[in-house]
Amino acid sequence: MLGEFTYCNPTRLYFGKESLSGLRQELSKYGPTVLLCYGGGSIKKNGIYDQVTTILRDCGKTIVEDAGVMPNPTVQKLYEGCRLAKDNKVDLILAVGGGSVCDYAKAVSVSTYCESDPWEKYYLHMEDVDNEIIPVGCVLTMVGTGSEMNGGAVITNHEQKLKIGHVFGDNVFPKFSILNPEFTYTLPPYQMVAGIYDIFNHITEQYFSGEDDNTSDYLSEGLMRSLIHASRIAVKHPTDYEARSNIMWTATWALNTLIAKGKSTDWMVHMIGQSIGAYTDATHGMTLSAISMPYYRFIFPYGLQKFKRYAVNVWDVNPAGKTDAEIAAEGLDRMETWMKEIGLVMNSKALGVTEEMLDGIAKGSFIMEGGYKTLTHAEIVEILKDSMK
Ligand code: NZQ
Ligand code: ZN
């Protein structure tokens, strides 16, 4: 295991059917005013809003509502949230929703008392936080991003055609997160499978890097196997508690910093996917699925031994009598079959990508150097073209 690191994850999790009761315990630790952030209304339809606000009122909290956090939250919405948080001097930000709401809550948390423009400071210049941070708690309703136990906060600037994630340190992680798998039952199938692929891709982004024997890779393989198994059940039986709970738990561990330990990590699928998102506002997980096969088929020769291991350990490819390249390719074929089986978008045209956008999407894709091949601009354009075939 290579690398020098420290490990600390300060988020307290409450998991299971009764986990919302943990909210009462947590609320006692914070002052009286709570900024309640949520999305476009799903929590009102499925009753989670009522359950949460009842607890907030029982605990004597003043609720400041911050509704309408959109999928892929925008910088304009962030400014609005900061004004609300500041004007009301909120003591806690409670995010009730998916990754977008949790990310947004973290962005408001670090931006409210920021003296300069938070978009420039945190997103364009990637500076650290040096001002007051408002504590955040999450009640998760959509599974995928891992935002419930990490420091990620992705914000979209449509004017600048940029979608950028800042990964903040553990002082910005949610103080607590409530994970009730039943809260995810009402997710539309499209969102559920997008989330499943987001989880899967978080794992591969970390797994496909490095050459050393690393405990993180064994953990990753176990998480992928669990996810593949549970996903096949969940698409057929969306209210299968066992499957949905395993998916929820896998999502958290896929991106809460653990499996990145000792890894250089790749993240190029996410960088290209986020840039597609900046142009199309498409669902995050689907931007990843649409470019994954072109990307992995392009880079696998550069990381052949790992792709071979992936084929055997994750996809049960029988290596007997095959070359390393054949084994690796068969693993990717099985991955593609699974992706189609669960109903992922496999073509970026379906997300609204056009030929005219390709150069801009490639320019907006931050080039990372931790994977098996550092991409050039021209290679990103080729991968994007492949994703439209
Ligand atoms: O807005 P509402 O009405 O709540 O509807 C949402 C939204 O339309 C709906 N939904 C959520 N829970 C539901 C539900 N509908 C019915 N029943 C429920 N229980 O689902 C839609 C999508 O929600 P969203 O929060 O946007 O999805 P997701 O969790 O995938 O979050 C996506 C955002 O997270 C960022 C993405 O870039 C994107 O902006 N990411 C954050 C990361 C992080 N913090 O580390 C990493 C990820 O790679 C990702 O980039
Ligand atoms: Zn993601």
**Can you tell me which atom of ligand 1 is nearest the CA of 270?**
48
The vertex-78 CA angle with 73 and 80, nearest 5°, equals 125
- What is the domain class of 12-183 according to CATH? alpha beta
Q: Where in the chain is the domain with CATH 3.40.50.1970?
A: 12-183
Ligand closest in space to the Cα of 103: 1
Q: Where in the chain is the domain with CATH 1.20.1090.10?
A: 189-387
Q: What is the mean pLDDT of residues 110-121?
A: 98
pLDDT at residue 1 above 80?
A: no
**Which pLDDT value is given to residue 110?**
98
Q: What is the mean pLDDT of residues 254-269?
A: 97
**Which pLDDT value is given to residue 9?**
97
Q: Which helix (H) or strand (E) holds 105?
A: helix 99-111
Distance CA 128, CA 168 (A): 7
Q: What is the mean pLDDT of residues 302-311?
A: 98
Query: 276: Cβ–Cβ under 8 A, 6 or more apart, which residues?
Result: 282, 287, 290, 291, 348, 351, 353, 361
Q: What is the pLDDT of residues 174-194, one digit of tens each?
A: 999 999 999 999 999 999 999
pLDDT at residue 73 above 80?
A: yes
- The tokens 């600048």 sit on which residue? 160
Distance CA 55, CA 27 (A): 9
- The model's pTM is 0.98
Amino acid (one-letter) located at 176: F
Q: Whose CA is nearest to atom 31 of ligand 1?
A: 99
Spacing, Cα 334 to ligand 1 middle (Å)? 27
**Which pLDDT value is given to residue 4?**
86
Mutational pocket test of ligand 1: of 44, 110, 142, 184, the residue with most ligand atoms within 8 Å of the beta carbon: 142
**Can you tell me which atom of ligand 1 is nearest the CA of 198?**
48
**Can you tell me which atom of ligand 1 is nearest the CA of 103?**
44
**Which pLDDT value is given to residue 371?**
98
- What is the domain class of 189-387 according to CATH? mainly alpha
Q: Whose CA is nearest to atom 39 of ligand 1?
A: 72
**Mean pLDDT in the chain?**
97
Spacing, Cα 240 to ligand 2 middle (Å)? 24
Ligand closest in space to the Cα of 38: 1
pLDDT at residue 159 above 80?
A: yes
User: How large is the angle between the packed helices 324-342 and 215-236, nearest 10 degrees?
Assistant: 40
**Can you tell me which atom of ligand 1 is nearest the CA of 150?**
45
**Can you tell me which atom of ligand 1 is nearest the CA of 277?**
37
**Which pLDDT value is given to residue 347?**
98
Distance CA 309, CA 288 (A): 22
**Which pLDDT value is given to residue 198?**
98
**Which pLDDT value is given to residue 29?**
98
Q: Are 278 and 163 in contact (CB under 8 A)?
A: yes
CA proximity to 169, closest of 151, 154, 187, 194: 151
Is residue 4 packed enough to be buried (19+ CB in 10 Å), middle (13-18) or exposed (0-12)? exposed
Q: Whose CA is nearest to atom 47 of ligand 1?
A: 145
pLDDT at residue 3 above 90?
A: no
Pocket (CB within 6 angstroms of ligand 1): 39-43, 46, 71-72, 97-101, 103, 141-142, 144-147, 150, 152, 154, 165, 183-184, 186-187, 191, 195, 198, 255, 270, 284-285
Is residue 152 packed enough to be buried (19+ CB in 10 Å), middle (13-18) or exposed (0-12)? buried
Q: Are 15 and 148 in contact (CB under 8 A)?
A: no
Spacing, Cα 200 to ligand 1 middle (Å)? 16
**Which pLDDT value is given to residue 156?**
97
Spacing, Cα 129 to ligand 2 middle (Å)? 23
Spacing, Cα 28 to ligand 2 middle (Å)? 32
CA proximity to 193, closest of 388, 46, 43, 340: 340
pLDDT at residue 2 above 80?
A: no
**Alpha-carbon separation of residue 201 from 5, 56, 229, 268 (angstroms):** 23, 36, 16, 10
